[in-house]
Chain A
C-alpha cells in the first residue's frame, strides 16, 4: 500500500466514526482515567447501550488533560457536537446514555462542556474552560481525541505526513535546518538545543547509530511523557523516525519504565502497526531509508532516566551512569553513536517538520520557543496535563489555568522540575515560563511537573520527603551521592522528630555542597537543591524546628517516614 492509499483508508475510517450513522462515545482511558475507574464506566456504557438497544461505538482515547474530571466521557451524535461529561460513575453513565442517546437531550447537570462548531443549550463551551482557554496544543494535538491504539486515526488527523514529506522532499540536512530554526530545546530537563544535539550525531559517519527516546520519567508529579506516549504514541514514533532520518541513524529504542503498562502496551502496539504499514523497517515508503524501532524496559529505578544509565539498562546491565567523555554522540548505547531525546521533544518534531521551524519559533518566549507541557498537581483546583505557550507567568498557570489553591488557602510554595528541582516560594509567582528565567531563580522548569503546596505544608517534612526519594533512588555508584544522600536524610529525619541540633544546617550544607561538586551524574550534583532551596525560602521554619523544637504547621507531630535505603 502506498501512502496515498493509506491516508485514503484512514480518512474513510475516520469519517465513518465522526460523520457516520453511529454515535461515537470516547472515554479517557489513560493512567488518569484508569485510576479514576474508567474501566467500570466503559463496562457500564456498553451494557447500558446493549440493554437499551441503542447503537453506539465506545472507544478508549487518551488523556485530554482534564485529569481532575476523570473519568471523562465524550459523546458525539451523528452530525452533533462533542459533549463532555466529567467524573462519570457507572450510574451516571447509564443516565447519560438514556438521556443523550435515548432522547437526544444531553443532561446538562452532568456535562462539563462542549467542543465543536455548534453549542448545546445550558452547557458551557469547554474551550473556554480555564484549563483549555490558554492552551496551544502541538505535542498534545491528538491527546484525548483519537484512539491511541489505532494508527489510522492518527493518520486521519495528519499523522505521518511529516514523515512522508521529509522522505520525499527534504534532505536530512534540510530537516536539521528546520529543527535548528525551530529553536526546539530538550524537554527532559537540561533544555539543550535539540538541533545542536542532532548535528552531533549527524556528524558521525559510523555505520550504526541510535536514537533513544527517554520515557523513564521517574519524577513524582510528572506524567506528561507517559501521557503523550499513551495518548498519542504515533507522534512519538513519527518523531523518532524523523530524528533517525535527519541524523542518519538506523535503530531506535523507546525506553519506558517497567510497570507502566498503559504507555508500554500502546507504544508496542504503535510500533507494530507502523511496521505493518511499512512506516518502520526496511525501505520506508520506498525512500531507501530504513529504520528499526523497539520498546525497551528497565527495572524500578529513577536513575535509569539519566541518559548513560539508560544506555546501560538497554544493554541489559545494572543501570548506573557512565562517565563522560566520551559523550553519547561518540560512544553511546552498545558503544555506537547515540542521540537521546525526551518524549516531549520528539513529539514536537512531526509538527515542526510539517509546519516549518519558523512557525514553532514564533511561539514561546525569548529563547524558550514553543510550548510548555505542564503537569499540575498538588493543592490545586484543576489538576491535569496542559500545554501552554512559554511565556505565561507561574501565577497565570496556578491561579488561572489550575484554578487556584484548593479550599481557598494560601499558596506556600511550588516544586517544579522534579525533586531535584527544589522548591520555589510563593513570592515567585511572577516568573514567566522560560528555561533561563527559571534557572536564574534557582529552579528548573525541567520536565514540566508543577506541584503546589498550601500553607499547611511543613517545609521540613516536605524536604525530608524529597530527600527520602532522592536517597532511595541513588544508584549507589559514586560515593558522594551514595553516602551523602543517606546523611542528608538522617539529619532531616532528626529535625522532623524535633531532635535537631544546632549546626545541622551547616552540616547539611557541607555534605550537600561536596555532593554537588563531587558527584558523577546530575542526581548527586542536583541532589542538594531541595534542601538548599528550602532553607533559602523558609530558613526560619527550619530554625523553629531545630532551636525551638517546634513545628509551626504541626505536621511534624506525627511524622510518617517513607521507605529509604539507608545504612541502618
Chain B
C-alpha cells in the first residue's frame, strides 16, 4: 500500500509516495527522500502550547518543546503539560518541565510572567 507525503523542506511541496518495499518516488531532490524517511521512521514535531498559571491577570503562559519530540507523544505531552500550574515569576527560556516523557526535551516558557505595574 502506498503512503503519501507532502515534503515541507522547500516551498516546492513535492508530493512523495512510498510503497511497501520502501521505494520513495516523487521527490525532486535528495532532501525530499531524507524528509520522507524521517517521517516514516521517526517523525518529530515541535510542540507549542500554553500552560496554566495561578496569576489572575495572566491565566496562561505560552511554552514550547526546546527540541522536536516524537510526533506520537504529542497528546501525551499535552496531558502532562496541562497538569502544571505556574505560580512564580518566570522568564522566556525557563524550564517548566525537564526531560518530558524521557525524551531529553524540555518544555520551556516562551513568554515572561507579567510584571505588576
Do the two shown chains form a genuine complex with each other? no
Interface residues of B (CB under 8 A from A): none
Interface residues of A (CB under 8 A from B): none
